[in-house]
Structure 1
Amino acid sequence: MRVLEVDEKRNRLRLVIETPEDLYYLLLLVRRGDIVYAWTTRQLRIERETGFERGERVRVYVGIDVEKVNYSKFTKAMRLTGRVVNAPEDLHIKGSYHTLSINVGDEVEILKRSGIGALDREVLARATSIIRRLLLISIGDDEITVGILSPVGVEIRSSVPYYPRRTDRDTSIRETIVPALTQHLELLKSHYHFEEYEDIVVLTTERLFEAVEEALSKTGIKARVIKVSEGGEAGVYELLRRPDLRPMFAEIRSLVEAQEASSLIEELFKGLRRVITGLDAVEKVSEWGVLEKVVIADDVFFDENTRDRVLDLLDKASSAKIILVDSESEVGKVLKKLGGAVAKLYYPLPNT
């Protein structure tokens, strides 16, 4: 994300969305009641003697008073809906509802209703840090899983079967695996545009290691090959858990924070009274200044029914470390079962 302006006096932010991950951060910045300006298209209304009729769609710069925020983590699409507060007079749309679709490359201006707070500054700091994206390819005996690791989490993009060559005679692993694997890697290379990623990490088992290296050489793919106990999707999650590989991902904030979240959940299962679970319980103590760390499943934040509650909680717990975890990750799935939120207190409370 490129920050063009932070005007503390006017409570104004001007930003450019540079990557799909930036929309995730924009979601953290925009709240109900904020005024958001962006370029959009609007259909003209042409006045005739017989009444109004529809004209062509034109590109216009409008501002809306945000009432609804919608974000899809799978399609990486954001839509902001609200009443138009500023637009060209000849459009006659002031006061009507309009939806802004925000995409990569768009410039957005936000007038913060409640001012630019500590959480906003933290989000801007994260969003403008170096964005490092890794492509993960996990190869098993008959399945290839592709995932993308970015600052906002790991996303499994595909998990597809591949079919090693079958013969009637005894053949080596190399003879059965390499041809099919080479073909699939060529397809992945054209589909995922490998040049867009900082690094490519290929995961495979000890048994397939040499065959995978040969297939990579045949396709000209330069990648770091790491041995895991199992290929496919399980191999991706094994990679993220392994402490010996953490230095490789030191710049990936999402992985570091997921590890922190996992440690916090382990403390809970050990029966430590400094850890509380559930959004209701965390909300209850958020005003008491006892929250040291708060971990929230991002689905709770994306849900329109709970998003405002989460934002209020984050405001009250401004001194605490806030961690948003991908709900589809291993840690996120556990977190959802615990009520979507876990928090660590500075000290145990009598009734916790």
Structure 2
Amino acid sequence: MRILEIDEKENLIRLYVEDEDDLWVLHLILEKGDKVIARTTRDVSLGKDSRRIPMTVELQVDYTEFQQYTSRLRIHGIILDAPERFGIKGAHHTVNLDIGDEIVIIKDKWSEFALEKIKRQAEKKGKLLIALVDFDEYIIATPMAQGVRVLAERSLPTPNKENEGIIEENAKTVAEEIKSFLLSLSTNVLILAGPGPFKEIVARHLQQGIKLYLDSVSSATRNGLNEILRRDIIDQVYRDYELAEEVKVMEKIMENISKDTGLVAYGKDDVQKAVDYGAVDTLLLLEDFLASDKREEFDPLLEEVERKKGRVMIVPRDSTIYYQVKSLTGIVALLRFRIN
């Protein structure tokens, strides 16, 4: 995400959408009543004919729809301003926001939470590819703000004495697919891991120029993927990537719960009490609460956490910690100090 313009007097921010994660963040921060200005198309009657005409409109947001792992955010609302000749002011309309589009967002008041989400997204580094490989299987994935996206998950011909060359053939096959995904993601950062020496064989078939990090995991499966996400290597490669941080925060929370340290609060009332004391270090909140009629109830709490120098982390539905957070009421905080 690139910030193109900030007009504090008009409460306006102009943004350029660079990838799917940007769309996800916009989905989180856009609220009912916000105004957006963006390019769109609309069917317009021209005499006896009807044509889809490109135009720029100002829309008052009703709600947004985001389909995970797509490159489109749908913004539904009422047209406040559009070219006069089309006579569409006051009509319902949907702006389809894609990668490569610009959008202007105008709020009556920008919350600390929304500003911080935009700032962090604008500062994010390039994408990261993770490949877990073994002699007979592999899985390739990329972390995204909305969760981990599995790009490929395949079996390989099993090595045998009759065809010892199959190992090199498998390594070449995996290396070529890795290179293809690195190209499509426009990244050269790769974590290559596995339970045995096959990863080193694959590494030999990868060209120079790739920022390669080797590690070991118990299997080249989704379980291995969850394992690698908990490793320090993620921080080494992607220190500001929220997905890895969420997992680590959750581990600290569970450790403190097991030790009964008093440094965890969960449930809205207890978390609000901790926020009032300025005790919240990191707050985990399920995205469900921002995509429902509960949003207005939680927004002031999120803003207060950010204002008191705490951090808010929104947990998407396919996060590896989603159900752990849900089991703790969907809102849980790691505290700086005990409040009881």
TM over 0.5: yes
Aligned partner letter, 1:125: K
The answer to whether the Cα contact below 8 Å between 2:79 and 2:88 also exists between their aligned partners in 1 is yes
Q: Counterpart in 2 of 1:158?
A: 152
Which deviations, in whole Å up to 9, do the C-alpha atoms of 1:261-317 show, x marking residues without a partner?
A: 321232123333342224x44565477344513433554256334444443431243
Shift of 1:142: 2.9
Q: Counterpart in 2 of 1:85?
A: 80
Bigger radius of gyration: 1
Superposed counterparts of 1:254-273, under 5 Å: 254-273=243-262
2:112 aligned residue (107, 112, 118): 118
1:128 lines up with 2:122 in the alignment = yes
Aligned partner letter, 2:204: S
Partners of 2:106 and 2:50 lie apart in 1 by 31
Shift of 1:349: 5.2
Shift of 1:95: 0.8
Of stretches 62-71 and 294-303 in structure 1, the one that deviates more from structure 2 is: 294-303
Identical-residue share of aligned pairs (%): 23
2:94 aligned residue (91, 99, 105): 99
CA RMSD of aligned residues (A): 2.8
Superposed counterparts of 1:1-352, under 5 Å: 1-47=1-47, 53-113=48-108, 115-150=109-144, 154-166=148-160, 169=162, 175-191=165-181, 193=183, 196-206=186-196, 209=197, 211-218=198-205, 220=207, 222=210, 223-243=212-232, 246-278=235-267, 280-281=268-269, 284-285=272-273, 288-301=276-289, 303-318=291-306, 319=308, 320-345=310-335, 348=338
Residue correspondences, number: 336
The TM-score with structure 1 as length reference comes to 0.83
The answer to whether the Cα contact below 8 Å between 1:194 and 1:200 also exists between their aligned partners in 2 is no
Partners of 2:298 and 2:151 lie apart in 1 by 28
Of stretches 190-199 and 1-10 in structure 1, the one that deviates more from structure 2 is: 190-199
Task: Determine helix, strand or coil for the equivalent of 2:321.
Answer: helix
Partners of 1:265 and 1:69 lie apart in 2 by 33
Unaligned runs of 5+ in 2: none
Q: 1:325 to 1:42 in 2, by over 3 A?
A: same
Q: 1:116 to 1:303 in 2, by over 3 A?
A: closer
Shift of 1:245: 6.2
Q: 1:129 to 1:82 in 2, by over 3 A?
A: same
The answer to whether the Cα contact below 8 Å between 1:290 and 1:347 also exists between their aligned partners in 2 is no
The TM-score with structure 2 as length reference comes to 0.86
Which deviations, in whole Å up to 9, do the C-alpha atoms of 1:174-228 show, x marking residues without a partner?
A: x44332332243244335526711411211122xx1x443344346474433222
Which deviations, in whole Å up to 9, do the C-alpha atoms of 1:238-270 show, x marking residues without a partner?
A: 222234664333343432343123212321233
Shift of 1:122: 1.3
Which deviations, in whole Å up to 9, do the C-alpha atoms of 1:114-164 show, x marking residues without a partner?
A: x12322331232022142311001113432111113566533333222222
Shift of 1:96: 0.9
The answer to whether the Cα contact below 8 Å between 2:3 and 2:15 also exists between their aligned partners in 1 is yes
